[in-house]
Amino acid sequence: MVDPIPALLTRTSLLEVMARYGLEPHRTLGQNFVVDQNTIRKIVRLAGVESGDAVVEIGPGLGSLTLGLLEAGAEVTAVEIDRRLIEPLTEITGGRARILAADAMEVDWSTVVGDRPHTVVANLPYNVATPVVLRLLDEAPQVTRMLVMVQREVGERLAAGPGSKAYGIPSVKVGYWATARLVGTVGAEVFHPQPRVTSALVEIVRREHPVHAVDPVVLFDLVRAGFGQRRKTLRRALGDRVTDAQLEAAEIDGRRRAEELDVAEWCRLTEAVSPLR
Ligand code: SAM
């Protein structure tokens, strides 16, 4: 007989479901499932999810976080790539979540979220965490907030500011669309199986308007070129893209390096190179 729908998954109930469906976690899909109820409730609380909120969960796995979101009264759409998990997930969530079997790197976000503002809450697979976050910021303006659990180093890069070692291309990309901050860390012991790394919780809140309206394609091309040679001065790293006169117009000293420029300065440089109008 199938057990009644659990409130939240525990290690015992997760192992029971895995055994019943003959499932082994796929390491290549980053399948480390959360089995600690306090961690789940903390993530849901930090996400600020309230009853009736529309939430997208990426990689629901066997429903650890999905159940926490449902407990808070969210309307959950969950996007899971591993088709083996769809049936157990549907059983565990009692059909209360909308479950889509799709790749978060390829799915058309506008059809997933429609016109309604959504919060993304996810324990992201390590190998696609950064591109998934950047893709959502780029392509899904309906996603206004995110609370994501990622590998700590990835979280530090997403939330870093200029001058820090972690500051790089993802930091500027996130900073263009949103503000990001680390709001917690999570130890390996809350997962099954346990990963070798510590995880971080990152809150990302989309800006109402970008720092400066510039052409993001030009901006991100400059950022890639600048950080591609991060030890060089901007004058040298961007020599084939930016003239001295453009650096001067942007009031940026060409002897500085990519890692020293904040998002507003990157935007000024973009505007000098390729004015919008
Ligand atoms: N949310 C569950 C939890 O917290 O226990 C599982 C999290 S587990 C770290 C990552 C999940 O993302 C797995 O279920 C994996 O199959 C799924 N996944 C991996 N790559 C994906 C992709 N490209 N699109 C959608 N889901 C993906």
- Of residues 4 and 233, more confidently modeled: 233
- Candidate from 90, 123, 199 with most ligand 1 atoms within 8 A of CB, to mutate: 123
Q: Is the CB of 64 under 6 A from ligand 1?
A: yes
Averaged confidence pLDDT in the chain: 95
Residue 7 reports pLDDT greater than 90: no
pLDDT at 252 (0 to 100): 98
pLDDT at 211 (0 to 100): 77
Q: Is the CB of 128 under 6 A from ligand 1?
A: yes
- Rounded to two decimals, the pTM is 0.95
100 pLDDT band, cuts 50/70/90, is very high
What single letter denotes the amino acid at residue 204?
I
Token pair recorded at residue 178? 């949103």
Percent of the chain with pLDDT over 70: 97
Beta bridge partners of 146: 120, 204
1 pLDDT band, cuts 50/70/90, is very low
HSE toward the beta carbon, residue 214, CA cutoff 13 A? 25
Please, where are the H alpha helices in the chain?
11-21, 37-46, 64-71, 86-92, 109-113, 129-139, 152-159, 169-177, 216-228, 234-237, 244-249, 263-273
β pairing state of 178-186 and 199-206: antiparallel
Q: 193, 126, 120: which is closest to 157 by C-alpha?
A: 126
pLDDT at 6 (0 to 100): 64
What separation in Å is there between the alpha carbon of 89 and the centre of ligand 1? 12
What single letter denotes the amino acid at residue 29?
L
Q: Is the CB of 68 under 6 A from ligand 1?
A: no
Residue 14 reports pLDDT greater than 80: yes
What separation in Å is there between the alpha carbon of 90 and the centre of ligand 1? 15
DSSP 5: P
How far apart (Å, rounded) are the C-alpha atoms in residues 46 and 193? 24
Tens-digit pLDDT profile for residues 15-65: 999 999 999 999 999 999 999 999 999 999 999 999 999 999 999 999 999
pLDDT at 2 (0 to 100): 47
What separation in Å is there between the alpha carbon of 246 and the centre of ligand 1? 44
Q: Is the CB of 34 under 6 A from ligand 1?
A: yes
Residue nearest to atom 17 of ligand 1 (CA): 59
Q: Is the CB of 59 under 6 A from ligand 1?
A: yes
How far apart (Å, rounded) are the C-alpha atoms in residues 245 and 125? 44
pLDDT at 67 (0 to 100): 98
What separation in Å is there between the alpha carbon of 49 and the centre of ligand 1? 20
The predicted model gives 198-224 an average pLDDT of 93
SS3 50: coil
How many other C-beta atoms can be found within 10 angstroms of the C-beta atom of residue 241? 15
Residue 228 reports pLDDT greater than 80: yes
What separation in Å is there between the alpha carbon of 168 and the centre of ligand 1? 25
What separation in Å is there between the alpha carbon of 32 and the centre of ligand 1? 8
C-alpha dist (Å) from residue 271 to 148, 171, 183, 244, 268:
32, 19, 33, 14, 5
210 pLDDT band, cuts 50/70/90, is confident
Q: Is the CB of 125 under 6 A from ligand 1?
A: yes
